């Protein structure tokens, strides 16, 4: 079912913009750049999910049951990392997969990591190149640059079906070059750079309704050759009351292609 949702676009500015994390040493203390809440119409792709292609749209929705049911502690990570690597090898043609981060998000007021409610893409070109070096070192990073590589995220609901704040995407062909802007990420121990997105009435939003823990969204956030990256955000659905808080896990990977 198509929905109306509220999203938070970034605001174009001549001044540097940044997210500042763990401000004053307090976990979860976040300072954000200026955002503007905007209502958008969002198409439900449930009936045509098999028509959404990773090579064309930069995203794929798949059914992929996990044997991992508890995402706490450390015992689950090796098994889940292998599942993610196998998934990306089968479905997007990955030759090598390096899983480097898992983020569990809970849509509750006191949660350390809540759903990301700004319209963004996880890497700028500069940010992706720096992350490549951070992960591999200069020498190995140069080897990756000589071929085809990308950063790919895998998003999955946890515990129960998504009843609020689903993950939404903007169709890449509806984006204009001037919609994108660089946003700095300032952590206590490192810095990064993402792409924020400005409001554009031409944006075509879409999502997959009623995602369960057996559903995943695989989406591209950087590709050094041709594949599109996606602006995305949690969606606050107009008129929807959450029965349970949204819980999800987002896995970040570095992928090397043949």
Question: Is-contact 238 6, C-beta < 8 A?
Answer: yes
CB contact set of 116 (below 8 Å; sequence gap of 6+)? 105, 233, 234
Give the pLDDT of residue 28: 66
d(CA 122, CA 232): 9
**Contact (Cβ atoms closer than 8 angstroms) between residue 25 and residue 197:** no
Q: What b-and-e string marks burial along 106-119, b requiring 16 or more CB atoms within 10 Å of the CB?
A: bbeeeeeebbbbbb
CA distance 31 to 43: 31
Residue 225 is encoded by which pair of tokens? 């050759």
Q: Strands 180-186, 191-197: parallel, antiparallel or unpaired by DSSP?
A: antiparallel
Q: What's the pLDDT at 3?
A: 95
Q: What is the mean pLDDT of each run of 10 residues along the chain (258 residues)?
A: 95 90 76 94 91 94 93 91 98 97 91 91 95 96 97 96 94 96 90 94 97 97 95 94 88 97
The residue extents of the domains of the chain are: 3-257
| pTM score, whole prediction | 0.93
Would you state the pLDDT for residue 15?
86
Tokens of 41: 């119409």
Could you give the CA distance from residue 42 to residue 234 in angstroms, rounded to a whole number? 12
CB-based contact 57:171 (threshold 8 Å): yes
| CB-CB neighbours of 86 under 10 Å | 13
**Alpha helices, H only, the chain:** 54-57, 77-92, 125-136, 138-145
Residue 127 sits at the vertex; the CA angle it makes with 118 and 251, to the nearest 5 degrees, is 65
pLDDT for residue 51: 87
Which class in CATH covers the domain with range 3-257?
Answer: mainly beta
């Amino acid at each position: 079912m198509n929905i109306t949702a509220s999203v938070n676009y970034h605001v174009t500015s001549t001044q540097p913009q940044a997210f500042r994390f763990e401000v004053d040493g307090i976990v979860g203390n976040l300072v954000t750049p200026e955002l503007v809440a905007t209502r958008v119409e969002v198409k439900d792709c449930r009936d045509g999910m098999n028509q959404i292609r990773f090579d064309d749209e930069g995203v794929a929705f798949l059914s992929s049951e996990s044997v991992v049911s508890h995402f706490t502690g450390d015992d689950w990570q090796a098994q889940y990392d292998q599942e993610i690597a196998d998934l990306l090898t089968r479905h997007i043609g990955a030759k090598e997969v390096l899983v480097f981060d898992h983020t569990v998000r809970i849509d509750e007021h006191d949660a350390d990591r809540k759903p990301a409610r700004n319209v963004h893409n996880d890497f700028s070109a500069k940010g992706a190149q720096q992350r490549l070096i951070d992960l591999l070192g200069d020498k190995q990073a140069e080897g990756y640059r000589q071929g085809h590589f990308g950063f790919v995220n895998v998003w999955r609901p946890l515990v129960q079906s998504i009843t609020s704040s689903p993950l939404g995407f903007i169709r890449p062909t509806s984006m204009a070059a001037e919609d994108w802007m660089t946003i700095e990420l300032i952590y206590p121990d490192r810095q990064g750079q993402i792409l924020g997105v400005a409001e554009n009435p031409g944006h075509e939003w879409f999502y997959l309704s009623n995602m369960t823990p057996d559903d995943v969204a695989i989406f591209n956030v950087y590709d050094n050759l041709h594949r599109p990256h996606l602006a995305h955000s949690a969606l606050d659905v107009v008129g929807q009351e959450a029965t349970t808080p949204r819980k999800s896990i987002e896995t970040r990977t570095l992928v090397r292609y043949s």
